[in-house]
Amino acid sequence: MPRRDPLHVWLHGTRVAELTSNRPGEVACRYTEEALALWDLNIPLLSCSLPLSRRQHRSGGTYFRGLLPEGAARASLASWAGVATFDTFGMLARFGRDVAGAAVIAAGESAPRAGSAELYDEAGLSAEVDAIEDHPLAVHDDSELSLAGLQNKLLLVATPQGWARPVAGYPSTHILKVEDRRFPGLVTLEAAVLRLAAAVGLTTVRATVASFAGVDCLIVSRFDRAAAVSAGAADDRHPQPLTRVHQEDVCQALGRNADAASGKGKYEAAGGPSFVEVAALLDRFAADPTRELERLLAVATFTVATGNADAHGKNLSLLHPLPGVVELAPLYDTIPTALFPMLRTDAAMTVNGRTRLAGVTGSDLVAEARRWRLDESAAAAVVEMTLDALATAADNDDVACPPGLARFVQTRCASLRP
């Protein structure tokens, strides 16, 4: 294989790492002298699984592979890049400038160019949605973007004039998910669960449902994008300046290969992350570990009470508000699988050893938190407060919870009280 030029990783304007690859499927990561001069050794910088070190991380591929989509979308990106589907380096060389979190990956040692946004008209966006199955992520010749996941989706930029397409690595602000035709009503329910999560303080993600090309779509704001503090002038091609917020999912943070076990490696039963392991990361790296562990317990309680058996290691993330510090990210993928008989019923992450989500009790939630070294009375209080807030939100007209989901949540909250 011919020698490849290295890729460079930028974080908030600083070139923090160099990536190399000697063969397809391999990615080695070495932190730069700039990064080593700025921060202490052994802190999580790009990832908890890639601590800042003078030594090369020869197995950095797990974190970087986690920036790429799964299934047909990955195959599509590989085809556009002219590389194999397992060639993480090759795909990031082509599509690494707008990925999850704050990392910007590009060739050359100078700062990557800013990119721009191209305004959609209604017909243009409808055409993108209509073609999404054959054209995953709506990639164009000038697209330099990637997003993890299996579901059909595309990335958008919100502008005062309407939705736009990110061009040449411009940071996207929203994700559009196309409803799976096998599960009608799913995006409406996912949006409702996100509203419930917002009502109980577990997400900042804003969700709306819109129809394009006769298909219902969920549009969610990205929690890893924020308005720039000192915003410059905006125009049609260069909307309000944005900053990227660094984050990683817990598969990346723990160095777990989500592609393992025929794509089931994100589930605990197939070697994916567990609540205990996520708690250990928060206990080690959070600025306020107790607060973050209590928040993790609230997330676990919410997940059980809303019947989400798909809350796996790619659907739970950590924010990096400062180098070396992590905290739990807002919830962003909240499917009430219990309302769809064809979807999974086993918990993506077990609770106190229980695998069947419907069998989890309030006492199990408290016992699970005790494994993280949370005080029993404090854990019981978190569970009860979360259930109270959720039951109230499900009955709140402003949340607009569909009746079937509201009944399920109310019943589950009542049965879960420890």
Q: Please give the positions annotated as active site.
A: 310
Q: What are phi and psi of 220, to 5 degrees?
A: -120, 145
Phi, psi of 355 (to 5 degrees): -95, -30
- Which residues of 271-314 form beta strands (DSSP E)? none
Placement of tokens 């979360």 in the chain: 386
Show the CA angle centred on residue 87, arms to residues 81 and 91, nearest 5°: 35
- Count of CA atoms in the C-beta half-sphere (13 A) of 296: 34
Q: How far apart are CA 298 and CA 300, in angstroms?
A: 5
Residue 16 neighbours by CB distance under 10 Å:
23
- How many CB atoms are closer than 10 A to CB 255? 17
3-state secondary structure of 120: coil
Give residue 102's identity as a one-letter amino acid code.
Answer: A
| Tokens found for residue 228 | 């720039």
What's the rounded Cα separation, in Å, for the pair 236 and 262?
Answer: 43
Tokens of 39: 């921060």
Write out the two tokens for 33. Answer: 């002298």
Ramachandran area for residue 15 (φ above 0: left; ψ -120 to 50: alpha; else beta): beta
